[in-house]
Structure 1
Amino acid sequence: MIRAIKLTLFVFLTATTFIVGFSACQDKTKTNNDIKDEIIYHVFQRSFFDSNGDEHGDLAGIQQKLDYLQDLGVTSILLTPLYESVYYHNYYSSDFEKIDSTYGSKEEYLALIREMHRRGMKLYMDMETQYVTEDHPWYKESLGKPESKFSDYILYDDKEQLKPSSIVFDIYDLLGYDGQRRKITTVNLLNKEVIKYNKELFAYWLDPNQDGNFDDGVDGFRLDHMMDDLDNKGRLKNLFRDFWVPLIDTLKSINPKIHIMAEQADWGSYGIDYLTDAKVDWVFAFRIQQAIRTMDKAKIMAYADTTFKETPQGKNQILFIENHDIPRFSTAVKQDKGKEKVGAALNLLIGGIPSIYYGQEIGMLGDSFFGKYGGITDSNEIPYREAFEWTKNKDTPGMAYWYRNSGPWWETSTVKSDDGISVEEQQNDPNSLLSTYKSLIKLRKEHPVLINGNYQSLNNNSKDVVSFYRINDNTKALVIINLSANEEKIELPLEKGNPNLVYGENKGGFKDGKLEVVISGSATQVWLMK
């Protein structure tokens, strides 16, 4: 993704656009059985856990923490890119075929994925092959050399091939947090050899030893900054048809069970065209994510109605409140404990496939540095990519401080000792945010309607209480979430049968076909009706 620029676009869209009103409920039945029991844990692996003392999170560190992840209840891991790059986030590659050595070896990668598969977990890999740095062979061997076999692999603005084309918003280079600056350019995705290369590259990760057994292969890919007309330049058009669909068709012919998720480049988009035209399985529910941060009932319900109504049968939305490109949720809600738990409930209960960004479950903090220390640089997002807080003592071995003493983001770090934001401090506290995530995930597993039930909004007379159904063939669940800190009282007309409260506490009752709900501030209730 285009790092700081994407954040600017997000802020602009959030501030200037939202859909008003409510639409009809989703009446489509999901046919993809694999959405059952799918909860993604989105890892920024450089910051997760350091297994060898070099302060870089690594593949072996992830493997050591699989017990923690399974205890949390997640079923899948989404990694940020693994391939070699001068940049700490590993976007803008110098070599797509090499694993960044700070993450570990190919053998350690294979050990991780085999162990995950042994446990019944899935691994998804983030890929962005649209851009390369000046260190990449295609760039080096074609610059100023029109006769090179790689001359058409890169977009140039002149016949002499001395002016590599810019990427989005006319960016030609990017300054790294460590002072390194690299030129970046766009790959010609319509070149037949580039298309062939991508098919082979992606296919390799599906079955590294090519034995037809996928125990060592990824379970799918996240396609970063995916577009039909790359960066809206008009030079690489119809990419859905001519690049992405052929690639996805090839991958699904190898392993039909994989899932492809797209990050739509326009964060104001519902991403429906990716699902209908590009053969992508899942897109990210950006509009719901943006609405949740406002804690505005009208926005949340309007965006949820539209998102789920428009999502085609057999496709799905990834529901999230945090990722590696936006400030932390706990920072956005000013560490309001009630709002943190409301965010968890919406993330896990409203529908789609939930994705939890590492550290979200313990309330880690982090704001953007964009505009504070210069222009566009990859340091702007370091504050929400900091070391995962395992212990109450921030200096415990295993902490992934790869950014130590590298700039003001280190000096103003939100990672502190004894502040309540760590696994150690929360794991035995039944009222902690971590315990809330565990209990909500456990609730999903106990009641599958919360996993694969369709979404249907339910109006009520409170401006602060979100209410909706999750419905499958046999069961209907009613979810009620109080966005405010104040106790709320509402009445809801219900169909025949007595509702059964399976999560939360209610001070009201059920009488004459009406459910009287008295819900505490920032609380969640889940009722089952069969």
Structure 2
Amino acid sequence: MTDLFGKMTMDWFEREGIKVKFKKWISATAASLLLATSLVSATPVAHADEVSTRTIAEESIYDLLVDRFFNGSGTNDFDTNTQDPTKFAGGDFAGLQDKLKFIGEMGYTIVSIGSVFATEKYDGSMPTSYSTIERHFGTSEEFQSVVEAYKAKNMSIMVDFPLNNVSPNHEWAKDPAKKDWITSNNNGQVQWDLANKDVQQALIKSATDFVSTYNIGGVRLTNIADADTTFINEMIAALKDTQKSLYVISNEESDANFDASFSLATAEIYRNLFKNVDMDSSKLMEPFTGEKPTQIMVDSLETHRFTFDSATENMFPPTRLKMAMGALFMLPGIPVVQYGSEIAMNGETKPETHQIYNFKTDTELIDYIKNVQSLRNQSATLRKGDFEIITNENGLLVFTRTSDEEKWVIMVNNTSKTQRVDLTTAQLGEGKMLNGILHEEKVRINDKDVYPVILDREMVEIYQVRNDEGLNVPYMVALGLVWVIFIGFVAIIIKRGKARRQEQDDVLK
């Protein structure tokens, strides 16, 4: 009946000459309302006091480059060239301010914006200062405004602080009194003597001064390969003394006391797992064996894009990204997603992988991320609940997230065929049902005393385990409300169409 009504409505739209994406609208509206009603009874919305007590294990990170995101102000567009990918393109702090709602609606809680120090390259890889803000990005006042604006929406700004590999024109490198701070010049960059106590103290002071000035939420230390662990720990301690709630992480492997671990192998595991179907998933748990929460991702701004990897496998990147994002946001790690992943940005190497963000692309994947992250942000159980794998075999992954308050079952069918998994009362409990959030499927116990969970290929479903109380009244109300809204919309269009035709008839008379 629904399909027939939809077809009749589309035929009517075509006759009236109105170009409306009916199916997409009705699906998106239904998903949003059903998501809300599914959570209303068991999952409270995260309030500010809850956000303030979160740990980094509950966060999700959106990783971007200021210059490549959005150009919000023309006042700093000097020496820019959007046609040359090696040059500054015009993205700035004003652009981050303009797109605050866009990022916030995707549900990210930390926005990592790279290095913001004065630099000779758009990606911050040739810094000339540890104190001056890059003028292409805007003023220090504009940067502070961005930090405060995101904080007001319960998001924090994280900034890269490079310990090494700076421009030969760095203010320290040009100071004759600091010539013994330099150990080498490789690849056109200067390397500091990170064993030098004066260098160490200068770096610590620069980093702590920056944090205390701008009150950012996190620092990512980069280019740390030549730094002694003792020195890094001293810097981490100094940063946290400056601001107790500050997160300090790195994008390199280290034994230092970072808030989260990082491993290049982790990205390789997930990239290889989700770039195609029926892939070996035996290494899925390796990132979670350490004591610290780990950063989980499918690529980084320093590697080729996940889209490139999946396309190389002759797969459809948006579908592959849905699989990857659906799993990453539900697993017990810290999801780190590169800007542009939600629009399937492509590229093999820099600067091709650092494209200017295109805000005019299809929003299907963006909407998908919004829905999944909405669940994660509203449910403490999905962020930090107990994690148990039920099935993990060549792309078929079923696991639970459980707390005293609630239980969820996540099924990831990253295989080439429809899969069925029978769950038992021992796993779910007596008198339960599974309420599928993303695809609106209900699963009840059958006559064989199992819950038959069936999912099509290349799909993720998130099931909320609820008491089976028969008819789901909130579900029916939400579904009815969707159609009421739509029918009202159709009635308005019909009425306007009649009025317009009457006006035309009157003119002809």
Give TM-score, length-normalised by structure 2: 0.71
Q: Deviations over 1:273-311 (max 9, x none)?
A: x4xx4111012354343222223689774433222122x
2:293 is equivalent to residue 305 of structure 1 = no
CA-to-aligned-CA distance 1:103-150 (integer Å, 9 cap, x gap): 1111111111122222222011011122222212333344xxxxxx31
SS of 2:131's partner is strand
Preserved contact between residue 301 and residue 457 of structure 1 (Cα < 8 Å): no
Alpha carbon RMSD of aligned pairs, Å?
2.5
Counterparts of 1:206 and 1:290 in 2: how far apart (Å)?
32
The aligned residue for residue 440 of structure 1 is 372
What is the alpha-carbon distance in structure 2 between the residues aligned to residue 102 and residue 338 of structure 1?
36
Q: State yes or no: 1:517 paired with 2:453.
A: yes
Offset at 1:477?
A: 2.1
Greater shift, 254-263 or 473-482, is seen at: 473-482
Aligned AA for 2:262?
A: F
TM-score (norm 1): 0.68
Encode CA deviations 1:57-113: one digit per residue, 9 max, x unaligned: 001110111011112222221011111222221123222221111111111111111
Counterpart of 2:137, as a letter, is: Y
What runs of 5+ residues in structure 1 fail to find an aligned partner? 1-31, 143-148, 156-164, 167-171, 174-182, 209-215, 231-235, 265-270, 369-380, 392-421, 427-431
Contact 2:158–2:220 (8 Å) recurs in 1: yes
The one of 326, 351, 365 aligned to 1:382: 351
Residue in 2 aligned with 1:324? 301
Is residue 367 from structure 1 mapped to residue 367 from structure 2 by the alignment? no
Alignment of 1:444-483 (within 5 A): 444-459=376-391, 463-483=394-414
The count of corresponding residues between Structure 1 and Structure 2 is 391
Give, in whole Å, the separation in 1 of the partners of 2:337 and 2:272. Answer: 19
User: Is 1:226–1:263's contact at 8 Å kept on the other side of the alignment?
Assistant: no
Q: Quote the residue 1:503 is aligned against.
A: 437
Q: Distance in 2 between matches of 1:442 and 1:300?
A: 29
Separation (CA, whole Å) in 2 of partners of 1:189 and 1:298: 46
Would you say 1:93 and 2:127 are equivalent positions?
yes
Partner of 2:257 in structure 1?
A: 279
> For the structure 1 residues 279 and 37, does the alpha-carbon distance in structure 2 shift closer, same or farther, using more than 3 Å as the test?
closer
Pairwise CA distance, 1:521: 1.5
- Aligned in 2, Cα 1:246/1:459: closer, same or farther, shift over 3 Å? same
Relative to 1, partners in 2 of residues 1:250 and 1:464: Cα closer, same or farther, differing over 3 Å?
A: closer
Contact residue 252 and residue 258 of structure 1 kept, 8 A: yes
The 1:141–1:206 alpha-carbon spacing in structure 2 relative to 1, beyond 3 Å, is closer
- Quote the residue 1:16 is aligned against: none
Q: Any unmatched runs of 5+ in structure 2?
A: 1-52, 78-88, 467-509
- For the residues of structure 2 that align with 1:446 and 1:502, how far apart are their CA atoms? 16
Superposition deviation, residue 451 in structure 1: 1.0
Distance 1:328 1:260, change over 3 A: same
- Per-residue CA deviation, residues 361-391 of structure 1 (Å, 9 max, x unaligned), is 12222222xxxxxxxxxxxx01111110112
Equivalent residue for 1:357? 338
Which of 206, 211, 214 is the equivalent residue of 1:206? Answer: 211
Mapped partners of 1:65, 1:198: distance in 2: 32
1:64-143 equivalence runs, <5 A: 64-142=98-176
Whose RCO is larger (CA < 8 A, sep 6+)? Answer: 1
Q: What one-letter code is carried by the residue in structure 2 that aligns with 1:150?
A: K
- Name the CA shift for 1:298/1:80 in 2 (closer, same or farther; >3 Å): same
Who is 1:255 aligned against?
243
Contact kept, 8 Å, 1:86 with 1:94, in 2: the verdict is yes
2:181 match? 153
Measure how far apart 1:445 and its partner are: 2.6
Query: Contact between 1:43 and 1:78, CA under 8 Å: does it hold in 2?
Result: yes
Call closer, same or farther: CA 1:509–1:485 in 2, change over 3 Å: farther
Superposed displacement of residue 340, structure 1 = 2.0
Q: Which amino acid aligns with 1:503?
A: I
C-alpha separation between the residues in 2 aligned to 1:364 and 1:252?
A: 35
Deviation at 1:481, TM superposition (A): 0.5
**CA separation of 1:44/1:307 partners in 2, compared to 1, >3 Å: closer, same or farther?**
same
Match of 2:68 in 1: 47
Of 186, 195, 198, which residue of structure 2 is paired with 1:193?
198
More helix by percentage: 2
Match of 1:491 among 394, 419, 422: 422
Instruction: Give the Å deviation of 1:46.
Output: 0.7
Q: Over alpha carbons, which structure has the higher Rg?
A: 2
Partner Cα distance (2:136, 2:236) in 1: 30
Alpha-carbon distance between aligned partners in 2 of 1:137 and 1:303, rounded to the nearest angstrom: 46
